Structure 1
Amino acid sequence: MATDAIIIRLKQSNEQEVGDITRVVGLMPARHMADIINVLDLEANPRNSRLGSVTDDIERSIENDENGTGQKLFPLKSKGVLIATSRFTRLDRGRYKLSFGDLSVEGILDGGHNTLAIGRYILDQAETFAGKPKPRKRDVSLWADFKKVWNSERSDIATYLDAISDSRDALKSEGIGTLNFDVPVELLLPLKPEDPECLETFHSSLLEICDARNNNAQLTAGTKGNKEGLFDSFKALFEEKDPVFAKKISWKTNDGGTIDSRSLVALAWIPLSLTTWVEGSDKIVELPKPMSIYSGKGSCLERYLDLMRDPHISSANTNGNEKELHDLQVLSALKVAVDLPKLFDLIYINFPDYYNKDGSYGKITAVKGMQHKDKDKKNAKPYYTPYYGMTCNQPVPDGFIYPLVYGLRACMKRNKNDRIEWALDPFDFIESDEFSSAAADYCGVIRQSDYDPQKVGKGSFSYSAALTGLKLAAIDYRADCEQ
């Protein structure tokens, strides 16, 4: 379904043909940005924009052009906005009528920070003209938040734009901006929009163009992977498992999520390590070392993306723009992986009790450093687990937890159909006496590592000890269950 049509005008424009793509370059009067923001978000841009030093500089440049008497330099200071669409009509006087189809591909490919900064400037001027206070920065700091405020004030914005047309001088005399500046715009269009083959080539090229443009902005590997659709199946599994938790995951730069997707991808390598794609003749990628789930999350992410990009694992979707997971073995491993954040938190809650079976957890220096300094213990602030935010009595260094969570690999198996699954119910298992005893034994590694969470989390012996201990515990647990 296409968006509403908008009309923009490009001054001093020229068209260039590059393969099956027409590139139009020109200067667009700033007021047209309001129409663009009305119909578009930043789905096609792999990053979400947020206010910061970059947008502050952009707004200062705009104000200099609006209020200064010298040359207007904003078009020379800013790279502007890159827009792509397959639905367009050329009009007279440098005007183009645009609507947008697949918003995950078409729309604003680059220039999200420019769009946010210009949009905020327009919104501020509109509210000033309406006699209202400007929106607080914290209320519009992320693109999603800004767009909500923008949509709620659309009538004020429309009235302000009409006033610019009717009484520009009066606005200027009141110190209200009149959007008297131009925005550099690149417009990408298919050379032959009626040709299906040309359209397919056009859309498949946009992802590569978008990736290259954003490479210049040091786009993170995870954000690129999200743009390629390489997390979509993992996302869907989390949404199916726990929609509330799924909304907290940050898959894309500046999307407002509080849980770093890299940590979830790192945990996913525990079940992924059982697949045939990391060993033998079917090997696609090198398996990350166990301690990487704690100290090498970036490398875990890179190898995950390498795995998911392989044609044995994923293929282009029907539009040819994103990858879709088709390997059922990897999908089954990801189904197991969605349980791990909650298991991590449950182990986190109980960990002090495991340690206290043969020690004094509260005396560990690293633990003391994490504890609140409240003298009033009765009204002390609670502690929370890393993923689900469950309350707990004591904080726990992550380095102590990761080896135990890795040890849950002992509860997983690859079945005769090459699907990864739980060999036993992990939630029941971690509440068992067998698990508690194995976890207490594992705590000996902490003592051998001088009680240093970094040494524990980065030490290969920590992971092998936890895995061996939990394998034996799982055997005893099954035996008890069968009695």
Structure 2
Amino acid sequence: MEDSPKLIIRFALVAEQPNVRDEGRLTGAGFAESIAGIKRYTGFVRGRDLYPLFDHLSLEANPRAAKTGPVTDAILESLEMTPHLFPFKSKGILLGTSTFEALQRNRFELRFEDPASEGVLDGGHNMLAIGLFMLAEVVGEKQLARATLWDEMKELWEEHRKELEAVREKFDFLVPVELLVPSDPEDERSVQQFEMSVLDICAARNNNAQLTQEAKSNKLGFYDEIRQRLDPAIACRVEWKSNEWESGEGRPIKVRDLLALAWIPLNRANEAGLLPSNISVTPQNIYRNKGECSKQFDKLMLDRQVSEPRDGPVHELINERVASCFDILADLPKLYDKIYAEFPEAYNSNGFRFGANSIVKIYDPIRRAVAKDKTDYVAIQPHTPFTDRPVTYRYPDGLIMPLVYGLKGLMEIENDRVVWAADPENFLNAYLADIAGAYRLVLDMARFDPQKLSKNQASHEFAVSEFEKALLKHRAKQSSLGGATTTANKTDQPRLI
């Protein structure tokens, strides 16, 4: 808090809403509802007076990460060709902070104490484009072209800050800026109301830019507990925030893929009556409708018995039953990849040929090199989606999604928590071949059509029942071994006389 820098923004023109005259006309509950604890300053800021924002702010508060593309290209073209029209062609920048002071001469002293919810709420692409436009005065084209993300632009900004200061007066174009602050910064209730409203405002302003539901949920802190539980090697590859994944880093893990998997243990919890309300998703939606999984997840997390807001809009998980489902979820990405990687050989161990199906492709460079028909092979080795594990077979994940859901049959309830009934990795090592042999029935019935297979609830229920049967078999073995050990121990015990 104390380390957050103060910065001063000067408006060329600014209007206050509501102002003193508005307050005189608007009274009572209608007035309170109309302002919602928020005061707004709108106006124009000259480009050179935006320097303090570039010096001190990140775009952490913006739900979407800024990235160069058609949007920034259009903004740059407008700044270069028609700078006098820019304030009317652009919606500009939206700032928000609960700590501010209105100074003389249209100046405002701002402090952004919580970068996660205060700062640039909307207009990240405008900020990126304006920063690149200014840098073009002091940086070569090749170097500038490599700055495709906000953080890369900021690095250039800091590196060339002295040169930028020398050309500062050139940037007299106007930028629309809107500043949102508490209507009464001295009133704790007003400040709290402001903080709770900022996220909804931010999401609404980003609707035109196709802000995903996941981006808003990430800002609410709904994914924090999941992120903390995941293997760091997996968590760092998840695109928690839209556009934050660099194109050169390979394919990111979509957060909605994790939310879909979360409904495997959450459905188990709901069946046991452990969730505060009857909320679940159909098994087939985990594959075909991940948007619905995301919506239901938000509905669950917004329940006051599951999470509650702390420090403004950010929610904290308070439900141990849901927390236990997240513990299970932490294992599911690796188990998903394990099933994907090992199912073909488990299937083949029953005397079948997984690779004989046209939908399946094989990575075998030697055989591909001599094969007349190369359509059965892939030239590049495939990898699993979560742990990036190299595999021999490439096939649609719809073929094994019911099996992944089948892991629900390996979950049980203990002290009102969802737990594994057996170590899932060792269990798959021991029983995946048996389950794969039985699973051939649904594969044949669907004629290896991944859409028919994963969009059919019966195939998921079949997989769950096969895991439950294998668990019974496993427990019978454990009981038999335990009984033998107990008998042996009793025989070895000395007789008491």
TM-score for both structures, normalised by structure 2: 0.85
Aligned positions of 1:83-482 closer than 5 A = 83-127=95-139, 132-135=140-143, 137=145, 139-147=146-154, 149-150=155-156, 153-165=157-169, 178-238=170-230, 242-256=231-245, 258-276=252-270, 284-317=277-310, 319-356=311-348, 357-368=350-361, 375-376=368-369, 381-415=380-414, 417-432=415-430, 434-482=431-479
**CA-to-partner distance for each residue in 1:5-47, whole Å, 9 max, x for gaps?**
2222111211112353221111101123332022111121111
> How many equivalent residue pairs?
451
Change in CA separation of 1:163 and 1:222 when aligned onto 2, cut-off 3 Å:
closer
Question: How far apart, CA to CA, are the structure 1 residues paired with 2:221 and 2:379?
Answer: 44
The residue aligned with 2:61 is: 44
Q: How far apart, in 1, do the equivalents of 2:125 and 2:427 lie?
A: 48
User: 1:8, 1:95 within 8 Å by CA — same for their partners in 2?
Assistant: yes
Distance 1:322 1:12 in 2: 34
Tell me, what secondary structure is at the counterpart of 1:25?
strand
Secondary structure of the residue aligned to 1:109 is strand
How far off is 1:373 after superposition? 12
Tell me, yes or no, if the aligned pair for 1:83 and 1:109 is still in contact at 8 Å. Answer: yes
Q: Could you tell me how far apart the structure 1 residues matched to 2:147 and 2:477 are?
A: 57
CA distance in 2, matches of 1:436, 1:211: 48
Native 8 Å contact 2:398 2:450 kept in 1: yes
Distance in structure 1 (CA, Å) of the matches to 2:337 and 2:116: 34
Quick one: which amino acid aligns to residue 97 of structure 1?
A: E
Residues 198 and 270 (structure 1 numbering): CA distance in 2 closer, same or farther, change over 3 Å? same
CA gap of 1:406–1:380, structure 2 versus 1, over 3 A, is same
TM-score normalised by L of structure 1: 0.88
Cα deviation digits, residues 266-309 of structure 1 (max 9, x gap): 11101011224x67696625321111111111111110110011
Mark the runs of 5 or more structure 1 residues left unpaired by the alignment: 67-71, 166-177
SS at structure 1 position matched to 2:209: coil
Percent identity over the alignment? Answer: 38
1:374 CA drift (Å) = 8.8
CA contact (8 A) 1:351 1:396 kept: no
Aligned amino acid, residue 273 of structure 1: N
1:196 and 1:351 mapped to 2: Cα distance?
58
Q: Secondary structure at the match of 1:442?
A: helix
The amino acid of 2:392's aligned partner reads N
Q: What CA distance in whole angstroms lies between the structure 2 residues aligned with 1:373 and 1:74?
A: 60
User: Aligned AA for 1:345?
Assistant: D
**1:76 & 1:370 partners in 2: Cα distance?**
56
Q: SS of 2:268's equivalent?
A: coil
Alignment of 1:22 onto 2:39: yes
Amino acid of the structure 2 residue aligned with 1:354: A
8 A contact 1:65–1:180 mirrored in 2: no
RMSD: 2.4
Residues 375-433 of structure 1: per-residue CA shift (max 9 Å, x gap): 43799532211111011111132011111111111111111x2111111100100000x
How far off is 1:441 after superposition?
1.5
How much does 1:133 deviate? 4.2
1:78 equivalent in structure 2? 90
Q: Which amino acid aligns with 1:272?
A: L
Match of 1:275, SS state, is: helix
- Of 284-293 and 221-230, more deviation after overlay is shown by 284-293
Q: CA 1:456–1:373 in 2, change beyond 3 Å: closer, same or farther?
A: farther
User: Helix, strand or coil: the match of 1:194?
Assistant: coil
Q: Deviations over 1:67-118 (max 9, x none)?
A: xxxxx10000000001012222323321222221111121011111111111
8 Å CA contact retained: 2:383, 2:389 = yes
Separation in 1, partners of 2:97, 2:176: 17
Change (3 A) 1:244 1:208: same
Whichever residue aligns with residue 418 of structure 1, its letter is D
Residue identity in the other structure for 1:391: P
- Tell me if structure 2 keeps the 8 A contact 1:285–1:306: no
SS in 2 for 1:47: coil
State whether residues 67 and 149 of structure 2, in contact with CA within 8 Å, keep that contact through their aligned partners in structure 1.
yes
Over 4 Å off, 4+ runs? 278-283, 369-374, 377-380
Separation in 2 of the partners of 1:83 and 1:299?
Answer: 32
In the other structure, the counterpart of 2:32 is: none
Question: CA 1:38–1:160 in structure 2 vs 1: closer, same or farther (change >3 Å)?
Answer: closer
Alpha carbons of 1:144 and 1:477: their partners in 2 closer, same or farther (altered >3 Å)? Answer: farther
Measure how far apart 1:205 and its partner are.
1.9
Structure number with larger C-alpha Rg: 2
Deviations 1:150-178 (A, max 9, x none): 3xx4242332232344xxxxxxxxxxxx3
**2:347/2:437 contact within 8 Å kept:** yes
Deviations 1:322-351 (A, max 9, x none): 211100000001100110110011111111
Equivalent residues of 2:38, 2:180 under 8 A apart: yes
Give the residue type in structure 2 aligned to 1:427. Answer: E
Does 2:71 match 1:54?
yes
Equivalent position SS for 1:391: coil
The Cα shift of 1:311 comes to 0.8
Contact 1:33 1:119 in 2 (8 A): no
Report the Cα offset of residue 363 of structure 1.
1.8
